[in-house]
Amino acid sequence: MTTSACPLCRRTADGVHDTCREDLDEKIADMPRLYDLLETVLEPGIALGARVSGTRTPPLPARLEPLSLRAPGGMITILAAWENDWRRERALTEVARVVNTTNLKKITKFLRAHLDWAITSYSQIATFTDAIYAITGNCNAAAGLHSDLIHIGDCPNTGEDGQTCGQALYADPHATPPITLIRCPACHAEWLRDQWGILGQILDDNRKDHAA
C-alpha cells in the first residue's frame, strides 16, 4: 500500500492524521479567545496577572507585542487574507473584514467550515497550518505563556526607515506539526526552514555585537 505524507504534519501517513486535523481545527476555533486574552495584557508589566486598580500613576503606553497582534496588520488581517484566498480558490465572493472580534469569529467560522476542503484540495495547506501555529505561539508568547516557547532572538529585519524591528521572536520546539516558518508578529518578516541557518547566523552576530 502506498503511503504519503500527512499534509498537516508532513510525517509519513496513509492520509491525514485525525489528531492533526483536530488540533488544527481547535487552534482555529481558539483564535477569538486568544484575541480577547491579548486585550487583558496590553498594560505594560501585565502578563496573565491581576491588574492593579486604584493607582494614581498615569497609564503607560500599551505593550507592543499584544497590541501589534490585535491591530490592523495583525492576527485578524492575516486570517482574513487566508479566508479570501480560500474564497478565490472556491469561486466565492471575497469580503472585506474590519479588525474586530465579530469579524474574527466570522473568519474562524468560515475557515473551520471549509477546513476539510482545504486539507484535501488547497495547495497552500502546509503554509496555512504553519501560519495558524505561528499566530498561536506568538499570542501565547505575548500573553506571557512561554512554557514551551523558546526566545530565539530579536527580529533583525530593517524597515524602510532604516530602523531594526527588534521584536522578540519565539519558536515552539514541541509544536505539532513541527514549525516550518518563523514569523515576526510586529513587522511580519518571515523565515522559512531553509533560511533558519542564515537567520541564526544574523542573530548570533547581533548578540556578539551587543556583548562587545
pTM score, whole prediction: 0.64
CA angle 81, 84, 85 (to 5 degrees): 85
Nearest to 29 by CA among 96, 113, 89, 99: 113
d(CA 93, CA 154): 39
d(CA 43, CA 30): 22
Task: Note the pLDDT tens digit of each residue in 25-70.
Answer: 999 999 999 999 888 877 655 444 433 333 434 444 456 777 888 8
Task: Note the pLDDT tens digit of each residue in 140-164.
Answer: 888 876 545 677 888 898 888 888 8
Domain residue extents for the chain: 10-43+61-211
**H/E element, 94:** none
Around Cβ 98, how many Cβ atoms within 10 Å?
Answer: 9
